[in-house]
Structure 1
Amino acid sequence: MRSLTLHLKILITVLVTLGVLTTAYQIFVLGIPLTEDETADLWNIDARVELQANPREPVKVQMFVPPPAASHVSLNESFISNNYGVSVNRVDGNRRVTWSARRASGDQTLYYRMVLTKRYGGEQSEEKGPIFRESIPVEGPEKIAAEALLAPIRQHSADVETFISETIKRVNNLNDDNVGLLLGGDRSTANKARVIDLLLSIAHVPMERVNTIRLANGIAQTPELWLRSYNGTQWLYFNPETGEQGLPADRLIWWFGEEPLISVEGGRNPQVEFTLNNSQINAIRLAQLSDAQAQAGFLEYSLYGLPLQTQQTYQIMIMIPIGVLMILILRNLGGLQTLGTFTPVLIALAFRETQLGFGILLFTLVTALGLMLRSYLEHLKLQMLPRLSVVLTFVVVLMAVISLLSHKLGLERGLSIALFPMVILTMTIERLSITWEERGGAHAFKVAIGTLVAATLAYLLMTIPELTYFVFTFPGVLLIMVAFMLAMGRYRGYRLTELFRFKAFLKD
């Protein structure tokens, strides 16, 4: 007996652990939303390219577009142009689109459009970078100014991270004469990045330019320059203006390196205008779109991978254990008497079609008339199988009559009576009649009321939309429910109704 108890405890622990782990994995790792109405951000990014084509010359326009990254999932990407060929190539970790045309003249407009989400993106997982570089040649006063700046930088830094931060801080001190000499009067971010790169090269610290776009709604913007360096284990990102470390979450990397965003052959005056628009989308729908585009397997092995019609069926079926659990609690803990465990649940499923009020009325009417017929057939001394066949036929005829009368009276809801499980109603009538014969009419009435109450409560629980979504999306909770059912199977204590029955004994 002790080994059996230990075995049951281990089984319950394993089921609960598996249920909790699978549900937590879906929520915290895959990012599946907890509620059906939860929404997520969807970003629409448009890059509008305008230029003037030279007459009677081939036109070739090249522009960097965002490289694949773990930080976001691209749902759609399109290149819009008129009479241009389009190709996308990878160059040194970047992606570059090329528009080309044999002949073009006048003003030209090209579009690049991208739809992305960062909800199902992960951490940045770039390839490893260099940890050493050669120095940029520098002579004369510039060399003296650079050495003068590097001396305190080396003194106030302990590693690559602090060395770069201190360098950026020194270069942004415009009151320093050495900085002024190296900047040469140009205080732009790009020129500051050039001076930072020069100082870091002398110290053999590698540095790379990162051009980003800020994910902000309705703001006209140009690419923002950041710097990054590899410290041997990870990439470190820095703002060249403030020294801020760490790429903000609202930044999208557009391209790496010093090359300009766009280059044109056979044209002039190229301009790129960025327009960003943020919208909301249902989070579970977004998860499905992300799964299809990124092939990340978010929902590949979930019930959402089934056809829609099959999903609708399983959304009903998967709630049956919830109803069974309700009946189990009502019977084992509450002491409510019903016609078995599954009959109230099946009646609750029928209530989904007829709705609760009309369903209770129809169930009561059909059951009462069926009991009257069953009582009459008892006097004929028929065997059980013919008797059940007659009752089943009577139930079918009665359901048809009620549906016909409901239609004539304009009560279309009454037509749903045809969806009642005929066999369940027949067996309910048979079992109630047997209970009546064995235990009396009062007990049979009490069991019938208990069955109806249990079916009503099960229906109310099984039709909660939030609960249906949660169980359908996170089926691992069913393992936790099975563990609870197993624990309930060893319960030998008092039921709630027995506490009232034996109140006097408890007082003694």
Structure 2
Amino acid sequence: MVSRRPFYIVVALLYILGIALVVYRHVAFDVPLWPGEYRNVWSAEAKVEFDANGGPVMASLALPDTQEGFTHVDENAASPGYGLSFVTKDGITRAEWSISSATGHQELYYRTDMLSDPYAKALPVTVPTIDKSLEKEPIASAINQILAAAKTRSADAFTLTREILKEFKNQEQNAALLAKYKKPAYLLVEILNQADIPARVVRALNLEDGRRRQRLVDYVQVFNGDKYDLFDPNTGVQGRPENLLLWEYNTTPLLDVAGASNSQVTFSVIKKLVPVNKALEAKFEHTDMLNFSVDMLPVEEQSLFKGILLIPIGVMVVVFLRVICGLKTSGTFMPVLIAVAFLQTQLFTGLVGFLSIVGVGLVIRSWLSKLNLLLVARISAIIITVICIIGGLSVLTYKLGITQGMRITFFPMIILSWTIERMSILWEEEGPKEVFKQGGGSLLVAVIAYLAMSSGMVQHLTFNFLGLQLIIMATVLVMGNYTGYRLSELKRFKPLADELHKK
């Protein structure tokens, strides 16, 4: 008989080590065990990319600072081989990288940490100068017609801006002509300047947790005396949206690169919970070698790991429901991948998309079975079919104005194809009852795993405490050692229980 002692020792060590790591990170670094007790810090990373021509390179990037709703608490940059300086001129600070010689594709990183602070006050803002451009016909006439109509219904700079944006919709011909001339934000600034109203285009970053490779959006900053407000030139909405960070707001280039080509800058964002005292002191201990945490990585990788670290939670749910409860699923860990897709699509949209894809796929698979194709060709055809179904549903939902529907592209296409194949074979061999049993079990497990993985508490713990992964592993090993009756099998003893109850 094989001794179980090594197994129990390993499980005990995993529990002890996992709990110790969680306690250490909580005590030593003051990371909260419960979300909501601490302040939000948005970590935004700019990734500068360009192709160097082989000679000296100079790159300059506009930087954000303390502003309404956000306090700038920390910044750092990664630029191997480059000299880096933060240059301040006329109250404007920019990051400047330089190198004597560089060739090929280059990547530079700058990261800023902005504390969500409702009491934050922006630095003094200088009013931009008014630049009246002399346009040629028919551009000048189109601008004058829109401005003249808007002036009759306005009283100040803000109301005039709103009316100009309305006129873009009322005067469709003029709007279409001007749209080919300039981008909406720059066009609005030019029209306001014609009315002697100072305005400028500012570049802003939408702070959304876990977003990667996004670009800045244009807003128009309109001044009315010593006050100003923001306008969205595309929607006409006045006011500053929540979680909007102004990145470039001094009428300077966002990125200026000399000695290179194909330059661009993209942004990644992640939200962190930081203890109040540490946030206010602006001291983050990322350089501590004992601080083995995900927040030491670049923001783009942090966003990726935030989702990856949730997968063990889904795996634990699958093990419990299959080993302890005895639920049948189509595929072992297919429900976990579906649950991960649900995190991107939201539950209702994901359920509708999953049922639609599998339902249509089964119908097409039944037709393919009549063609007597080889397995490889049949699976390939199903994969192409699944892709076509997902593409068609995305286009259909977009046409209907349901933007959530476009996220069904997050479904694992290969896994869905094999699921359709297995269900079709199961239908032929066992009948529809077994198909619905396994399919329904898979969907139930996926929903339960989604509910566990979408919990704010779970997301907070898995991201901030890597030791939790060891605890989950130990729990999975314990459940894997279970050899007793599954809960679903207890119904076999119901007649015996009823008979004993009668006695």
TM-score by length of 2: 0.50
The alignment status of 1:474 with 2:465, answered yes or no, reads: yes
| SS of equivalent to 2:421 | helix
Give matches, 1:296-375, under 5 Å: 297=288, 300-375=291-366
- Per the TM alignment, residue 332 of structure 1 is displaced from its structure 2 partner at its CA by 1.0
Match of 2:373 among 369, 382, 390: 382
The code of the aligned residue for 1:475 comes to: L
Is the 2:340–2:450 Cα contact (8 Å) retained in structure 1? yes
- Per the TM alignment, residue 490 of structure 1 is displaced from its structure 2 partner at its CA by 1.5
Q: How far apart, in 1, do the equivalents of 2:368 and 2:273 lie?
A: 58
Q: How many residues align?
A: 270
- Per the TM alignment, residue 375 of structure 1 is displaced from its structure 2 partner at its CA by 1.1
Is the 1:299–1:305 Cα contact (8 Å) retained in structure 2? no
| SS of equivalent to 2:481 | coil
The code of the aligned residue for 1:457 comes to: I
Is the 2:38–2:276 Cα contact (8 Å) retained in structure 1? no
Is the 2:386–2:416 Cα contact (8 Å) retained in structure 1? yes
Distance change in 2, residues 1:380/1:286 (3 Å): farther
- Per the TM alignment, residue 291 of structure 1 is displaced from its structure 2 partner at its CA by 8.7
- Please give the per-residue CA displacement for 1:401-428, whole angstroms capped at 9, x wherever unaligned: 1111112211111111222211111111
- Per the TM alignment, residue 2 of structure 1 is displaced from its structure 2 partner at its CA by 3.6
- Please give the per-residue CA displacement for 1:76-120, whole angstroms capped at 9, x wherever unaligned: 9xxxxxxxxxxxxxxxxxxxxxxxxxxxxxxxxxxxxxxxxxxxx
Q: CA RMSD in A?
A: 2.6
- Please give the per-residue CA displacement for 1:301-344, whole angstroms capped at 9, x wherever unaligned: 21111111111111100000000101111111111111133100
Q: How far apart, in 1, do the equivalents of 2:303 and 2:482 lie?
A: 36
The code of the aligned residue for 1:383 comes to: L
- Per the TM alignment, residue 506 of structure 1 is displaced from its structure 2 partner at its CA by 5.1
Unaligned runs of 5+ in 2: 40-72, 75-271
Is the 1:323–1:345 Cα contact (8 Å) retained in structure 2? yes
The code of the aligned residue for 2:404 comes to: R
For 1:448, the equivalent position in structure 2 comes to 439
- Per the TM alignment, residue 289 of structure 1 is displaced from its structure 2 partner at its CA by 8.2
Q: How far apart, in 1, do the equivalents of 2:438 and 2:286 lie?
A: 53
Distance change in 2, residues 1:299/1:291 (3 Å): farther
Distance change in 2, residues 1:490/1:295 (3 Å): closer
The alignment status of 1:6 with 2:5, answered yes or no, reads: yes
- Per the TM alignment, residue 368 of structure 1 is displaced from its structure 2 partner at its CA by 0.9
Give matches, 1:157-168, under 5 Å: none
Is the 1:36–1:284 Cα contact (8 Å) retained in structure 2? no
Distance change in 2, residues 1:289/1:346 (3 Å): farther
Q: How far apart, in 2, do the equivalents of 1:35 and 1:293 lie?
A: 19
| SS of equivalent to 1:502 | helix
Distance change in 2, residues 1:29/1:407 (3 Å): closer
Distance change in 2, residues 1:13/1:410 (3 Å): same
The alignment status of 1:435 with 2:426, answered yes or no, reads: yes
The alignment status of 1:460 with 2:451, answered yes or no, reads: yes
Q: How far apart, in 2, do the equivalents of 1:303 and 1:292 lie?
A: 17
Is the 2:278–2:284 Cα contact (8 Å) retained in structure 1? no
Q: How far apart, in 2, do the equivalents of 1:453 and 1:435 lie?
A: 19
- Per the TM alignment, residue 451 of structure 1 is displaced from its structure 2 partner at its CA by 0.5
Identity of aligned residues (%): 38
For 1:24, the equivalent position in structure 2 comes to 23
For 2:387, the equivalent position in structure 1 comes to 396
The code of the aligned residue for 2:468 comes to: V
TM-score by length of 1: 0.50
The code of the aligned residue for 1:376 comes to: W
For 2:489, the equivalent position in structure 1 comes to 498
Q: How far apart, in 1, do the equivalents of 2:21 and 2:371 lie?
A: 58
Q: How far apart, in 1, do the equivalents of 2:390 and 2:404 lie?
A: 13
For 2:397, the equivalent position in structure 1 comes to 406
Unaligned runs of 5+ in 1: 41-74, 77-280
Distance change in 2, residues 1:295/1:419 (3 Å): closer
The code of the aligned residue for 1:425 comes to: L
Is the 1:291–1:300 Cα contact (8 Å) retained in structure 2? no
- Per the TM alignment, residue 374 of structure 1 is displaced from its structure 2 partner at its CA by 1.0
- Please give the per-residue CA displacement for 1:409-453, whole angstroms capped at 9, x wherever unaligned: 111111112222111111110111122122211101111011011
Is the 1:354–1:413 Cα contact (8 Å) retained in structure 2? yes
Is the 1:291–1:298 Cα contact (8 Å) retained in structure 2? no
| SS of equivalent to 1:33 | coil
- Per the TM alignment, residue 471 of structure 1 is displaced from its structure 2 partner at its CA by 1.4
